[in-house]
Every structure is written in C-alpha cells, then in structure tokens.
C-alpha cells in the first residue's frame, strides 16, 4: 500500500516509525514531516493545512490510505475532501472533528446525551458573561470555543481575573477569532488521565491510557504547554475504570455523533478528570495526543497499518480483542527549546551520540530539520521526544533519562520528573502491597 501521513510533530514521527514496520506498507510519504520522519518516510513539502495540494498529491500518487495526525486539517475538512475523491482516510470529517474544534458543540452534545462533564454556559456577549462570572465561585475555567493550539483554556483564580480573561477573549485580543465565543465551566478537582479509542462511526475499539505533563517545569509548575512528557499506561487505570470510561463517555459520544448525523471515525482522545474516582470528561480531541502517541506506539505490538485501515474501512468490529500491547510501561520525555512555550531561538545545533532507535528506546523528532551543512538543528519549540520502555515506571524513566544524557543540546531543556505521580504510586505499592485475602488458606 501507498500511505500518506499528514503532520510534522513527534506524534507523526512515532506513527511513521510504526507504519513503516508494516509488511503492507510499500511506500510511506509524510507531508511535511521533519528531519527524523525522513528516516522512515519520504517527506513531501506540503503543509498540513494545505488541503488542495494534499488532495491533489493523493490523487496523483494513487495513495491507498491517508492518515491525518493533527487537528487543524481535520477541522478544515481534509478528510471530507479525500473521501469525495474516493481516497481512504483515517481521521474524522470536519463535522465530526467539531468534538475538538468547538468546545461549545462538545458541551452541548454531552448535555443532550447525558455524558458526564463540568457544568457550563456558552457566551458571545461580555455583559452576560460578566453577570454569570459574578455568581460563580473561583477558580473559574474559561475556554475559547475554537482551536487555540492547546492554549485556549485559562483557569482564573479570582472573579476579577475571570472577567479580564473573558473580556480579552471575546474582544479577540487574546486568541483571535477562536475566542470570540467562550465556554465558562465549573472547576473540576482530581487527577487527569487520557484515554484513547478508535471509532468507525459505529463500533468503538478501546486502545489504552496515558498521562500527560502539560506544565513547562518540574513539579507541574510554569506555563501550560502542548505536553512536556507522558507515560502509558496511566498508573490509576484498571479494567473496571476503562469499562466505565467506555460505557459512560466513549460509546455514548460515538452513538450521539451518529444520531446527530455526523458519525465519528478516527481516534477519539478523551481528557478525563477522575473526581473522587469517577470519570468526568474535560475535553475530546479528534486525534492522537502528542506526546501520548509516542508512548502508545512504543507499546503497540500489533500492525498499526492494519488497525488504521480497518478504521478507515469502517470494519473495526473485525479487530475486537486482537490489539496487542507490550506489558511494559513506555515513558517519553520531551526536550524543548529554552524559552518554550514563549520565545525561543531556532537553528541551534543538536548532537545525538547514539542510535536513535533500539529495542528499548526511541528518539522521536518534532521541531527538527537539517541545515545547509546537514547538521541537525531545532525548527520548533518542542523538539525531541526521548522514549523508553521498562518493566516498571521507574525502569522506563531510568532508561529514558539515561538516553537523554547522550543528547547534546545546550539550547534545550526538559523536565526531570516525568512520571512522578506514577512513581509515587509505585513506591507506595511496594511499601504497602495490598493485602490479599486467601480464603482457602
């Protein structure tokens, strides 16, 4: 098969690496890709949002399957255009991608179909928003309706701050058009977990869980980022909780989208808050997470191409119980350019003193390119995802940080505490193993 993968981040590098391992994969293109992806795929110079060029290329090259990585092309309708051209595509239509592209749409759907999520109201008018805020208790969560590169959520600690944020969002000064409609919602307290499932409009195929680290610095401090590290599976996940998430959130959402006339096909990524043990939906994304995907691809033993193709061909029911995951933890530490997520310099030199892939480790590239001399330099804020497998979180983490020690990049930084919550839980488990009542003894 000839495959076209769309995107250029660490998520896409891990997808390219895994797709290229499939026996069915004859030729893999990636648009636009990056310096690491060029090791697994032929990079072609079309931006992910350049719908016309991508559709034209897919037709000309007789592509058998297009896999769309990021949310922006989904919201722009790339999957619709490819479907119209008769090309198979893994990723939802623009109407279905509204689950991620419009927070208001997602919240209304949850309200209509009884999917647990934080109480909310939608606003386009500042006076109405102000009156509503006055009646709330802080903290108050304010979100842009539209996409804002993962940064459109602000948790205001006071009513005054909430009013200021609402003012700046609604006027367009903070996030442009994305913020001219807002959602104000109740603050949820608990531990966050990400859960991923495939859907083909009807059938749901649960995948696995992960936990992201959104803040820039150790101890979950500093500004929000796209994600500074992740591990999979999430430490608090168990089969019963997975079933609850699927029964209360994922399957009802897939049924609801079908009932609304916009069936969801692709990967549904649920951001969940465990509130006193009960899963409450924070957000849906219509794609794999970055860097969660990198950890999932390290754990996936089955053929990714077979799985995505079954999704695109609406026959996920063929795959039930056949996806195999390594019984290990995968952990990913993101190396970012100093200054990220604010200002940072580009074109700083990176030297990697070891093979980028071996049995237990992988270095996935995000914002990298080769300069005129062929040296590896950064071209973005999040630059490398250094991943490792291990029998425990502690082991995976040790392997990942040992690998990081062999990457020389003076202009880069990374968090030194990825997986800290899971590590605490693991240590607690070792100190106080649960008592097993052996009734027959």
282 binds, among ligand AMP, ligand GLY, none (CB under 5 to 8 A by kind): ligand AMP
Q: Is 279 in the site for ligand GLY (CB under 6 A)?
A: no
Contact residue for ligand AMP among 19, 106, 118, 133 (CB under 6 A): 118
* Phi, psi (deg, nearest 5) at residue 16: -65, -45
| Interior/surface letters 400-416, b for 16+ CB within 10 angstroms, e for the rest | bbebbeebebebbbbbe
> Is residue 25 within 8 Å of 3, Cβ to Cβ?
yes
Contact residue for ligand AMP among 5, 141, 216, 234 (CB under 6 A): 141
> Is residue 110 within 8 Å of 117, Cβ to Cβ?
yes
Q: Is 214 in the site for ligand AMP (CB under 6 A)?
A: yes
Number of Cβ atoms within 10 Å of the Cβ of 434 = 6
CA atoms of 364 and 371, how far apart (whole Å): 18
Q: Which of residues 259-288 bind ligand AMP (CB under 6 A)?
A: 271, 282-283
Place of tokens 């995107």: 7
Task: Taking the CA atoms of 40, 5, 415 and 209 in sequence, report the sign of the dihedral they define.
Answer: negative
Contact residue for ligand AMP among 57, 113, 132, 187 (CB under 6 A): 187
Per-residue three-class SS string for 243-272: HHHHHHHHHHHHHHHHHCCCCCEEEEEEEE
32 vs 150, beta carbon nearer ligand AMP: 150
Q: Is 227 in the site for ligand GLY (CB under 6 A)?
A: yes
- Of 358, 325, 331, 111, residue with least CA distance to 208: 325
Query: 149-188 mask for ligand GLY (x: CB under 6 A)?
Result: -x--------------------------------------
Contact residue for ligand GLY among 50, 242, 290, 303 (CB under 6 A): 290
Among the listed ranges 128-136, 139-147, 284-292, 397-405, the one in contact with ligand GLY (CB under 6 A) is 284-292
Residues 6+ apart with CB under 8 A from 81: 51, 55
Contact residue for ligand AMP among 85, 153, 258, 425 (CB under 6 A): 153
Q: Is 50 in the site for ligand GLY (CB under 6 A)?
A: no
Contact residue for ligand AMP among 47, 108, 191, 192 (CB under 6 A): 192
Strands 407-408 and 351-352: antiparallel
> Is residue 196 within 8 Å of 296, Cβ to Cβ?
yes
64 binds, among ligand AMP, ligand GLY, none (CB under 5 to 8 A by kind): none
Among the listed ranges 18-26, 285-293, 388-396, 405-413, the one in contact with ligand GLY (CB under 6 A) is 285-293
Chain residues that interact with ligand AMP, rule: CB under 6 A: 118, 141, 150, 153, 155, 185, 187-188, 192, 214, 271, 282-283
Chain residues that interact with ligand GLY, rule: CB under 6 A: 150, 212, 226-227, 285, 289-290, 292
């Amino acid at each position: 098969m000839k495959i076209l993968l769309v995107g250029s981040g660490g998520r896409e590098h891990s997808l390219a690496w895994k797709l290229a391992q499939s026996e069915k994969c004859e030729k893999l293109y990636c648009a636009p890709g990056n310096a690491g992806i060029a090791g697994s795929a032929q990079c072609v110079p079309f931006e992910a949002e350049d719908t016309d060029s991508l559709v034209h290329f897919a037709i000309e090259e007789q592509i058998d399957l297009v896999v769309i990585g990021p949310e922006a092309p989904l919201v722009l309708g790339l999957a619709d255009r490819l479907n119209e051209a008769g090309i198979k595509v893994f990723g939802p239509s623009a109407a279905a991608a509204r689950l991620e592209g419009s927070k208001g749409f997602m919240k209304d759907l949850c309200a209509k179909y009884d999917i647990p999520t934080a109480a909310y109201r939608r606003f386009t008018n500042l006076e109405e928003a102000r009156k509503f805020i006055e009646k709330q208790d802080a903290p108050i969560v304010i979100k842009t309706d539209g996409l804002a590169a993962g940064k459109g959520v602000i948790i205001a600690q006071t009513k005054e701050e909430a009013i200021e944020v609402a003012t700046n969002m609604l006027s367009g000064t903070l996030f442009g058009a994305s913020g001219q409609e807002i959602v104000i919602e109740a603050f949820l307290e608990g531990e966050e977990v990400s859960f991923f499932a495939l859907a083909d409009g009807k059938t749901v195929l649960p995948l696995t869980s992960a936990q992201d680290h959104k803040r820039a610095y150790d101890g979950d401090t500093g500004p929000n980022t796209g994600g500074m590290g992740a591990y999979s599976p999430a430490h608090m996940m168990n089969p019963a909780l997975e079933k609850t998430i699927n029964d209360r959130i994922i399957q009802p959402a897939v049924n609801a989208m079908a009932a609304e006339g916009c069936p969801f096909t692709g990967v549904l990524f649920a951001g969940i808050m465990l509130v006193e043990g009960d899963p409450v939906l924070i957000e849906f994304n219509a794609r794999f997470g970055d860097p969660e995907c990198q950890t999932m691809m390290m754990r996936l033993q089955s053929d990714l191409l077979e799985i995505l193709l079954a999704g695109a061909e609406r026959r996920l029911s063929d795959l039930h119980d056949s996806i195999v995951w390594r019984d290990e933890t995968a952990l990913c530490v993101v190396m970012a350019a100093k200054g990220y997520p604010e200002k940072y310099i580009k074109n700083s030199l990176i030297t990697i003193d070891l093979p980028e892939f071996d049995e237990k480790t992988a270095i996935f590239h995000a914002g990298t390119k080769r300069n005129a001399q062929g040296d590896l330099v950064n071209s973005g804020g999040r630059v490398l995802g250094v991943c490792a497998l291990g029998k425990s979180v502690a082991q995976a983490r040790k392997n990942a940080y040992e690998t990081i020690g062999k990457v020389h990049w003076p202009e880069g930084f990374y968090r030194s505490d990825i997986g800290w919550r899971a590590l605490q839980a693991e240590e607690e488990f070792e100190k106080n193993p649960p008592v097993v009542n052996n009734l027959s003894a």
